[in-house]
Amino acid sequence: MNKILIYGFGNPGRQDDGLGNAFVERLEEWVQNEGIQNVEFDSNYQLNIEDAATISDKDLVVFVDASVEDIEDIILTPVDESAKVAFSSHSASPGYIVKLCHDLFNTQPACYLLHIKGYEWEFMGGLTDKAKQNLEKSLELLKEKIRNPEELISSFVPTELCEN
């Protein structure tokens, strides 16, 4: 049975920046109601270098974050160690976490980033109505993927391996 981790991150105190955290809360409830056993959840304000150890024994990892990018509503993209790598004392990107996982544990799970379009980022709690609609779309997408994780796992090819 595939080991799956859903990891949402963002700041729920900044409106739509809390989409990743809200996603984890809602999906975790669904997984429990469905009796699905192989899915773990985590959420935080940001990714940390320790998360490389957390993902090292997983087959599939889906990071979930609010997006300020120009996307329609949601998009699921692969993440590998060649993805935008960023690290400061305050945050780490999914690509950096994947790179650390590979460097430290010599493993790389199939990793994806679920981008959910957000609209407002003020210092207040609660999602905007448009963000809530995107949250619903993203939940439906990932419910399907959790029921059939082999599709995401088998189609994941790290960019670094493609280029060599």
Report the CATH number of the 4-163 domain.
3.40.50.1450
Q: What is the pLDDT of residue 84?
A: 55
The residues facing 63 across adjacent strands are 7, 113
Measure Cα distances from 84 to 6, 78, 80 in Å: 20, 12, 9
pLDDT digits (tens, 9 = 90+) for 104-144: 999 999 999 999 999 999 999 999 999 999 999 999 999 99
Would the pLDDT of 83 be above 70? no
pTM listed for this prediction? 0.92
The answer to whether the Cα torsion of 90, 14, 70, 130 is positive or negative is positive
Instruction: Give the Cα separation of 57 and 125 in Å (integer).
Output: 34
